[in-house]
Amino acid sequence: MGKTAKRVLKSKNFTLLMILVVVVALFQIISGGNYLTEINIRNILNSMVIVALLSIGAGFLIISGHIDLSAGYIGTFCGMLIAHFISNMRWPWFPAFLVTLAAAMAIGAINATLINKLRFQSFIATLAMGTVSNGLALLVSGGKYINVPREIAPAFVSIGTSRFFGGRIPSSVLIAVAAMIIYGIILSRTRFGRKVFLVGGNPTAARLTGLNPERISYALFINNAALGCVAGCLVTSRVMSGQIAGTTAQNFSGITAAILGGVSFGGGSGSISGIILGLLIISGFSNGLTVMRVEMQWTQIASGLLLILALTFDYFVSKSAAKPGKTL
């Protein structure tokens, strides 16, 4: 029992939980009790949805030893593309979504090809494809918003705007929760999840055991692009228009949440539960600044500092784990 307690106290998730408690307590005190209200908790959960989808894909890739800087840009492109199909071409929303999803997955496959076949560094290849995706979004939209009125696609709009449990929980929050559960099971309870850890921890050893790291990376890059697509389409559904900014602003937030949540930047370590805690810390912190009416530029500075904090935390944890006799 004592060993179990010590292991829990030394775990990354316990540290993250303590950080979350401090953040919540601090803003609850500073705001005079206006932080932990039902409306504000709902706002925090709602703000997590897009970042949650991006952080899942980013987390899987970082665990496998890669990074993808294009997911947010892909989401923006897909949000514009589905709005174009629905509003300008009058397609039914579901076929429009399938074609949009296929386009996103094709970009993910190109990312994987550039990295595996042409041996590009992952951050260079994905940043380049992210720039291409952003350009495609501007090309599709002509640099303007594309409105998606409710009367044209009521089912599509309801996905992002409907609420359940007496109007308390937005449907998009339930989508994010379902994604977290499904991907959490995949990562921790399936053979594929174990392969992701093995490839990220030691690619050479993974090859010697008969695994195909390239095939796994293709699956993960395509999956990350698909999740970016879902995030972008959700934004379009929620605001009923294809947005020029779309999910671009959340691009690095997904990576920050994954790293802050204990996903090792060196690969081979991480969990969905840690990512959830990282998401709660980031969303709770950003919301707290909003409640305190902090100006936008300071919020962006704070977000950048959080990424630095996440990388610093990952560095010291990895350094500690590298010492003889130390384990995570």
Q: What is the pLDDT of residues 119-168, one digit of tens each?
A: 999 999 999 999 999 999 999 999 899 999 999 999 999 999 999 888 78
Tell whether 76 is covered by a domain.
yes
Strands 163-164 and 241-242: unpaired
Lowest mean per-residue pLDDT among 13-22, 51-60, 211-220: 13-22
State the average pLDDT for the chain: 89
Residue 221 has pLDDT above 70, yes or no: yes
Q: CA angle 115-137-299, nearest 5°?
A: 85
Q: Check pLDDT > 70 for residue 5.
A: no
Give the pLDDT of residue 290: 84
Number of structural domains found in the chain: 1
- How far apart CA 39 and CA 26 sit, in angstroms, is 18
Question: Does 175 reside within a domain?
Answer: yes
For the residues 4-29, what does the mean pLDDT come to?
81
Confidence band (pLDDT; 50, 70, 90) for 74? very high
Residue 2 is assigned to a structural domain of this protein:
no
pTM for this model (two decimals): 0.90
Evaluate whether residue 17 is within a structural domain.
Answer: no
Residue 326 banded pLDDT, cuts 50, 70, 90: very low
**Residue 235's domain spans which residues?**
48-249
5 part of a folded domain: no
The number of beta carbons lying within 10 Å of the beta carbon of residue 272 is 25
What pLDDT score does 323 carry? 59
Q: Which residue from 227, 231, 232, 285 is spatially nearest to 256, judged by alpha carbons?
A: 285
Query: What pLDDT digit, counting tens, does each position of 241-282 carry?
Result: 999 888 998 888 888 889 888 888 888 888 999 999 999 988
Residue 256 placed within a domain:
no
> Does 327 score more than 50 pLDDT?
no
> What pLDDT is recorded for position 309?
74
pLDDT over 70 at 328, yes or no: no
Structure tokens that stand for 103 in this block: 């386009």
What pLDDT does 113 receive?
Answer: 97
Count CB-CB contacts under 10 A for residue 131.
13
pLDDT cut 70: percent of the chain above it: 92
- Beta carbons of 54 and 68 less than 8 angstroms apart: no
In whole angstroms, how far apart are CA 18 and each of 29, 49, 262, 278, 328? 16, 23, 14, 12, 18
One-letter amino acid of 255: I
Identity of the amino acid at 97: F
In a domain, 68, yes or no: yes
Contact between residue 237 and residue 170 where contact means Cβ atoms under 8 Å apart = no
Tell me the per-residue pLDDT of 273-325, one tens digit each, with 9 for 90 and over. 999 999 998 888 888 888 888 777 777 787 778 768 767 776 776 666 555 54
How many other CB atoms are there within 10 angstroms of residue 301's CB atom? 12
Please state which of the ranges 16-30, 103-117, 218-232 shows the lowest mean pLDDT.
Answer: 16-30
Tell me, yes or no, whether 225 lies in a domain. Answer: yes
Sign of CA dihedral 58, 64, 69, 74: negative
Residue 250 DSSP code: G
What does residue 88 show for φ and ψ, rounded to 5 degrees? -85, -35
Nearest one of 58, 7, 121, 63 to 264, comparing CA atoms: 63
